[in-house]
Amino acid sequence: MSLPILAILVIGTLALGYRFYGQFVASQFALTDKNPTPAVQVNDGADFVPTRPFYLLGQHFSAIAAAGPIAGPIIACQMFGWLPCVLWIVLGVIFIGAVHDFASLVASVRHGARSVAEIMKENIGGRAYLAMMAFIWIALLYVIVAFTDITAGTFVGITEEFKERDFSFNPGGAVAASSVMYLMLSILMGLVQKKFNPPLWLLTLIFVPATLGAVWAGTQVSTLLLFTQKTWGLSILVYCFVASLLPVWLLLQPRGYLGGFVLYMALAVGVIGIFFGQFQVQQPAFKGWSGAGATDALFPFLFVTIACGACSGFHGLVCSGTTSKQIEKESHCRPVGFGGMLLEAFVAMIALSTVMILSQQPIMPGPGKIYGNGMGYFLTILIGEQNILFAITFGAMAFSTFIFDTLDVATRLGRYILQELFNLKGPSGAAIATAATVALPVLLVSFAGAGSYRQFWTLFGTTNQLLAALSLLGLTVWMKKTGKNYWITLIPMIFVMSITLWSLLIQTSRAFSTFSGVNISFMNGMSALVLISLTGLLIYDSVQTLKGELWQEKKLA
């Protein structure tokens, strides 16, 4: 099957899913614009700001479309082939992922724009709230670990296509230099905006082209920043610590703004490459139920490996953390929540295409390098093959750009959780909470060796999707208590819960059956045990709440 035909089928199915199933799901919540949203009621000009759906969709999409839907499909395609990946991405996002995001957004809007954990506290109880907060914190740690390790891998090494070149060029060093310059540009933009407050269009005209200039400059100094993967991993974690403590105007906001342009440029390049690049699919459609020699079976590991490309618990934190505070009308929840997740599925499809066009190799590079190289090949359609160095560096830097956004947000959220739970206030409290959040990632990255990202990624994907299942569990209880059709969240919850607990049990069994000292496998196994325990507690409290609801219904009858 050719790439253009496959892409058309995917786009058409996603469009039909939005039109029909999205409309059905929305009808179950009886959305009405007569209910004032928290953004309208509070409207403080800071956090609560009514925003037009077109602009809010762009902001929301930029927040959720990070490296997850890129790395996951690439790794899964290497293990199982592209056909199972496409099927799960398309069907999973329509019937599970988009339902999760949409329901989380609606529930938050109707609970005063409170978080998923606070919604569980109100509908299930205080113990469920504490368990959910602890689960979210551990999930965020594995977001940080997995993305740090993958990014560090893109900053080192010579890839195959450059081994025989007779010039001095290190693609990993070029990406590293470009990424560092991109972060420096973001800080400069934040300082200029704070001090001089120029119009946004002027900042855009200056700093967006400067971001592309940073890519070119990186190719010119590709041998300047050459360090080991472990050194880069620890350096990125130092960045996480510092970035999460900086004021949002200095780094997070300007970097997010510039990162949005990089995201949309990458999407445009992906579309052009798929439809006009005349690339052939070279990867097999199906490699077997155990992934062409892989030790992980398709059930359950396909689902948790693709992770964010089909369903993401992290999205629930975004929906109930920032997006719900900007919804102007309830009817806007469908295009933003449901539609935003479908757009992420297309990001996953573009990422999948970058590995589908590669020929079979005994040892495949990591997902960051595959995505960077693939996007580079797509970009040469516009700028010519003579600019291959710039093109591939742009693709890999785009990947790291998405990751830096996620790392900052994940570390900040981890800090906020610890500060709230332990009442840590002031700059010293923030520093302590941040240090505690990056401590385990530092330990895991210190133990990491080549290819360790696969071990991190499996537990990250499992944790992320289990977080989605737990969010769906809380939403199911809320929907049951308010008389809504709770089957639309219950059935996806049961499937995702089963798959993720199955994955956790396998990972725990492996960790302890092959125990050979304190290593990554053992630490992952211990984390998996804690996650299973927290999940059991949340399930128990939810069942008890539902039993109480049923008893009340029988009593009233």
**pLDDT band for position 169 (50/70/90)?**
confident
Q: What is the pLDDT of residue 523?
A: 87
Dihedral of CA 304/310/311/317: which sign? positive
Q: Is the pLDDT of residue 516 over 80?
A: no
Q: Is the pLDDT of residue 271 over 50?
A: yes
Dihedral of CA 67/73/75/76: which sign? positive
Residue 491 CA to residue 469 CA, distance in Å, equals: 10
Q: What is the pLDDT of residue 166?
A: 44
Q: Other C-beta atoms within 10 Å of 27: how many? A: 11
User: Which value, to the nearest 10 degrees, does the dihedral of the CA atoms of residues 501, 504, 506, 511 take?
Assistant: -160
My answer on whether omega of the bond before 198 falls inside 30° of 0, hence cis, is: no
Distances in Å between the alpha carbon of 373 and those of 3, 319, 540? 17, 32, 47
**pLDDT band for position 162 (50/70/90)?**
very low
Contact 372, 399 (CB under 8 A): yes
Half-sphere exposure of 468 (CA within 13 A, CB side): 36
More confident residue, 295 or 523: 523
Residue 234 CA to residue 218 CA, distance in Å, equals: 21
Q: Is the pLDDT of residue 291 over 70?
A: no
Q: What is the pLDDT of residue 295?
A: 61
* Tokens, residue 100: 């999760």
Please state the rounded mean pLDDT for residues 179-203: 94
pLDDT per residue as tens digits for the range 331-372: 999 999 999 999 999 999 999 999 999 876 666 778 888 999
- Going from N- to C-terminal start, the domains of the chain cover 3-556
Strand partners, 327: 51
pLDDT per residue as tens digits for the range 98-134: 999 999 999 999 999 999 999 999 999 999 999 999 9
> b/e map of 348-364 (b: 16 or more CB within 10 Å)?
bbbbbbbbbbbeeeeeb
pLDDT per residue as tens digits for the range 7-63: 999 999 999 999 999 999 999 999 999 999 999 999 988 689 899 998 899 888 888
Residue 361 CA to residue 288 CA, distance in Å, equals: 17
Contact 475, 109 (CB under 8 A): no
Output the pTM of the full model. 0.91
